[in-house]
Amino acid sequence: MLHCPYCGTIIKEDEKFCIKCGRQLPDDINERISKKKYKNKWWYVPAALVLLMITVTGSYFLVLENRTADAKSLYEQGEKYILNGDYEQARDSFAKALDNKSNFSNAATSLNFADKALSIEASLKEAGTFLEEKDYQQALSLIKDAESELKNFNGSAVNLIIEDISAKRDSIKIEQLLDTLEHKPNIDDLKILLWEAESIKNEEAENITSEIRNQIIDYSYSKASEQLKNKQFSDALIIVEDGLKYAPNAEKLQSLKTTIDKEQVAFETAQEQRIEQAITTAAEEQQLNETDAIELVSVNIENDQQGKLAVKGEVKSVATIPINSILIEYSLMTKNGTEVLSNEVYVYPDKLFPEESGNFEFTHFDLDEQGKNLDVEVNKITWYTE
């Protein structure tokens, strides 16, 4: 901006005279105005550069923001695939999320997890192949390795995979148990199998556990009864107590234990006298009463699930007072009347009140015979009165 050299009034471009004082302006005034105007045009250059930088920076951040949004969307989609068990699709989504945002740590972690999940999925499939071949140890080894791959991960998706691994492990163990049971394991092996079956938490394993426990009960009852029959009270008690470790609620074993204790006391105090008294009393009551103090309701012989011969029966008290330690003496006969063997077995529960019923059962583990080929005859029933 220039001023009149005479009065100080502002001078516009191309003016020859001052509009205020009227004097003619010097010739160099317009030249100086033109130079200043030309000089002032240079401020557009930095302004244009600043505007260009703002535009470029804004575009960059806009693109970056869009890529970040796309990465987040891909990551969320990958999470859904993971929860649905579609690990291949999940891996693809996480990889694309990292392509959009290379420093996306959650996507990197999830991509690693998806790779692990795919590896585990392959291991479970391979374990299924070994299971079909009955190579249980190799199948369980693969399951163990698969589970170890998840030790550094947690969350709901991890829990779902762990559930799949656990289910596969349980199915392998169940097949292994069933295969072992088909080979008729001995009593020591049954005790180990019971522990293994109890460690599996599903309905099929519970059924197997019950079956194994019943086998242990039958074995313990039969072996203890044999010892009791031979008056080996201590040995009989050891067998029963060992069986109760594996089946603490077994009524048969609990009742037999009570019977052993009572029989031992009776044997140590007045065995012969009480036995003779019981026999005499039974004989007298047989003469006086048609039904006697004990009524035999039923007795039959059959083969159990393991093919072992089992004698089962039921009796009923028709006495007017409680009776206990009821002993059943029976014989196994061929169809032509030849005696195969005779045996004794106690009724459970140990004590019967009037009109109460009791049961007896004995499994002959050492006799290989079909029940349909034999008959059972009850020879004598004896008991004690209080």
Per-residue pLDDT in tens (0 to 9) along the chain, 386 residues: 555 665 756 666 566 666 666 666 666 655 555 555 545 555 555 656 666 676 656 554 555 566 677 778 887 888 888 888 788 888 888 888 888 877 878 878 888 888 888 888 888 888 888 888 888 899 889 888 888 888 878 888 888 888 888 888 889 899 999 898 888 889 999 999 999 998 888 888 899 999 999 999 999 999 999 999 998 999 999 999 999 999 999 999 999 999 999 988 888 886 677 667 767 765 665 554 445 788 999 999 888 777 788 999 999 998 888 889 999 999 999 888 889 899 999 999 999 998 999 999 999 888 777 667 889 999 999 888 77
Q: Which two tokens stand for residue 293?
A: 């103090």
Domain boundary among 46, 69, 103: 103
Report strand pairing: 10-11 vs 294-303.
Answer: unpaired
Do 341 and 283 touch, CB atoms closer than 8 A? no
**Cβ-Cβ contacts under 8 Å for 384 (sequence gap 6 or more):** 266, 274, 278, 323, 324, 325
Residue 204 included in any domain: no
DSSP 349: S
Is residue 44 in some structural domain? yes
Instruction: Please count the structural domains in the chain.
Output: 2
Contact between residue 362 and residue 343 where contact means Cβ atoms under 8 Å apart: yes
- Per the domain annotation, does 238 fall within a domain? yes
Q: Quickly list H helices, the chain.
A: 28-40, 44-83, 87-100, 105-132, 136-148, 156-182, 187-198, 203-229, 233-246, 251-288
Looking at the structure, tell me whether residues 234 and 380 fall in a common domain.
yes
231's torsion region: left (phi>0), alpha (psi -120 to 50) or beta?
Answer: left
Confirm if 300 and 376 have CB atoms less than 8 A apart. Answer: yes
Omega before residue 349 within 30° of 0, cis:
yes
Same domain assignment for residues 233 and 380: yes
- Report CA-CA distances (Å) from 303 to 35, 313, 341: 125, 14, 17
Q: Tell me if 243 sits within 8 A of 250, measured CB to CB.
A: yes
Last residue of a domain, one of 103, 130, 150: 103
Q: Note the Cα 218 to chain centre separation in Å.
A: 28
Same domain, residue pair 361 and 235: yes
Contact 318, 290 (CB under 8 A): no
Which pLDDT does position 121 carry in this prediction? 85
Last residue of a domain, one of 48, 82, 103: 103
Residue 208: inside a domain: no
Supply the pLDDT for residue 289.
Answer: 45
The token duo for 350 is 């140990």
Report yes or no on 13 lying in a domain. yes
Question: pTM for the complete prediction?
Answer: 0.56
Q: What pLDDT does 52 receive?
A: 64
Helix axes 203-229, 251-288, angle to 10 degrees: 50
- Rounded CA-CA distance 25/36 in Å is 17
Cβ-in-10-Å burial (0-12, 13-18, 19+) of 345 comes to: buried
- Position 188 in a domain: no
Q: Where are the alpha helices (DSSP H) in 149-202?
A: 156-182, 187-198
- HSE-CB at 88 with a 13 A cutoff on CA atoms is 2
Is 237 part of any domain?
A: yes
Contact between 334 and 373 under an 8 Å Cβ cutoff? The reply is yes
Give residue 349's pLDDT: 93
224 and 92 in a common domain: no
- Domain presence at residue 79: yes
pLDDT score for 251: 93
Do 232 and 358 sit in the same domain of this protein? yes
**Do 370 and 245 sit in the same domain of this protein?**
yes
Range(s) of the domain holding residue 49: 1-103
Q: How many CA atoms lie within 13 A of 26 on its CB side?
A: 10
